[in-house]
Amino acid sequence: MNQQDCITQIKGIQDYQMNIQYWSDIGLNFFLCNENDDQKQIYQGRGWKNIGAYCLGYNFNLLDKNRFLF
């Protein structure tokens, strides 16, 4: 997966979570794209300072990420 494909996937998740689930923004803190040894990309979602929105009742205890391995 190239950088543009990764950005497109993340934007799709953000659009879904904001427009369908009515969240204020994307739910995950970070995204890892293309885990080839020489091509790793890390993208920030909510980042370090914000509580993620992905595990009801445990969001304050967790830091989450999503992996795209397409």
**Cα angle, residue 47 at apex, residues 30 and 67 outer, rounded to 5°:** 5
Q: Is the pTM of this model over 0.75?
A: no
Q: Tell me whether strands 41-44 and 65-68 are parallel, antiparallel or unpaired.
A: unpaired
Dist. CA 40–CA 63, nearest whole Å: 19
Architecture of the domain spanning 3-68: 3-Layer(aba) Sandwich (3.40)
Task: Please write the tens of the pLDDT for every residue from 11-57.
Answer: 999 999 999 999 888 888 888 887 666 667 888 888 877 777 766 56
